[in-house]
Amino acid sequence: AVARVYLGISAALLLGIPLGTLWASVWGWRSAFWLLSGLSLLMAVALYVWMPKVSMPARVSLRGQVGQLRHAYFGLNVLVSVWVFTAMFTAYTYLADILERLASVPATQVGWWLMGFGAVGLIGNGLGGRWVSRQPVAATGGFSLLLGLAMLLAAWWMGHGLGLMVALALWGIAYTALFPVCQVRVMQAAKGAQALAGTLNVAAANAGTGLGALLGGWVIQAYGLAMVAPVAAVLSLLTLLFVPLLRRYRPE
């Protein structure tokens, strides 16, 4: 079910970011923000009108939920989500600039490249959802490994069209897979408090997104745009160091 929800998020990334990039390239970034504001208002109205009403589940005390989240295993899972999203967004935040300035993709075509990135990434959503339900820790390590290697390949093949497409396809699969993988892994780590755990994982993802953007900006300022993908790749590969820790602290 979580993977299905993230399928919608992935589809939004597939359409929203590339179309926003295309819109901004033609009519300017300010008009893109006005468009986003209008669509957000329409979405709020649509949710109010058509969102089905469901019965409230049995209430669980906040104290009882928080008590279950005090275990080291849960805290470690949240930390891993922050780390993974930092690695993801250190490079992804600047992917449009990377394509335009390093891969020499024309500005009018960057949006289409990002759309292809997202389309291939939908495969990762399905793969991640199936793997994480059986082996959450292994899925995190496996897709982090794939993400790191794909970003290294993208940096290596930046001047080669076909090679870059292959690298971006692998990058998109791993990137999209890690959304449901992290969400399900954290929720599984908190038996009896899954709603609160899911909320905390979203907060961890947002923290990682912000940290990644800051780190990527610092790397660009200090070492140049070409170093963003390699630095992000190293961060992603270092996620593998958390795998034995997660297995060690996992309750029986």
Q: Taking the domains of the chain in order of start, what are their residue ranges?
A: 2-249
User: Is the pLDDT confidence value at 160 over 70?
Assistant: yes
pLDDT of residue 119: 85
In angstroms, what CA-CA distances link 164 with 149, 184, 223? Answer: 13, 31, 22
d(CA 235, CA 237): 6
41 contacts: CB under 8 Å, gap ≥ 6:
none
Q: How many CA atoms lie within 13 A of 17 on its CB side?
A: 19
Per the CB < 8 A criterion, the answer to whether 99 and 164 are in contact is no
Task: Please state which of the ranges 1-5, 69-73, 192-196, 215-219 shows the lowest mean pLDDT.
Answer: 1-5
Q: Which CATH superfamily is domain 2-249 in?
A: MFS general substrate transporter like domains (1.20.1250.20)
Q: How many CA atoms lie within 13 A of 49 on its CB side?
A: 6
Summarised one tens digit per residue, pLDDT across range 50-100 is: 888 777 666 666 666 666 667 888 999 999 999 999 999 999 999 999 999
pLDDT of residue 161: 83
d(CA 116, CA 124): 13
Summarised one tens digit per residue, pLDDT across range 203-235 is: 999 999 999 999 999 999 999 999 999 999 999
In angstroms, what CA-CA distances link 136 with 76, 142, 178? Answer: 13, 10, 11
In angstroms, what CA-CA distances link 115 with 42, 98, 99, 149? Answer: 24, 15, 13, 21
DSSP state of 216: H
75 contacts: CB under 8 Å, gap ≥ 6:
69
Summarised one tens digit per residue, pLDDT across range 110-147 is: 878 888 888 888 888 888 888 988 899 999 999 999 99
Count H helices, E strands: the chain? 11, 0
pLDDT of residue 2: 63
